[in-house]
Amino acid sequence: PKILGQKGLNKIWILVASTQVPLPLLQGWVMFVAVTAWFLSVVFLCVFLFGYANRIAVNWNQTDFLFHGVTFVFYFGAFLLQAATTSLHYFPRKFNSTTQEKLLADHEYNISIAASIFAFATAVCYGCSTALALRRWRL
């Protein structure tokens, strides 16, 4: 399979992991999608590099299409959740009655913006790869 989004997904989980993760439910999904997609991409790469694709009776064009299609949907959802987390930058987090702090510090806000951009770029790459896989599978 074509691995178009490989570099982008590495950047996403590195960027999310470098923050304090103020909303674990949202950013946990982003991390799950990025790490799972990376792992499955490496598995597919190894299957093809070591010649197992010739030994396993599977329609690899259909498998490629399904993998990239599901990954595209998951990455687009991860992009939306990461962007939602980024949009809460000015939302106050109350520690006690006398102090208020922003949900995301300025540095974390900048990292979250970068993670959102890379998530979107990776979703676009997986979308393009899905379209190419569909074309290859159906022709």
**What string of pLDDT tens digits covers the 139 residues of the chain?**
444 444 455 566 666 666 666 667 777 888 888 889 889 999 999 998 999 989 999 999 999 999 999 999 999 998 998 898 888 887 776 655 566 777 777 888 888 888 889 889 989 999 999 999 999 988 7
pTM of the model: 0.79
Helix axes 60-87, 24-49, angle to 10 degrees: 160
d(CA 109, CA 106): 5
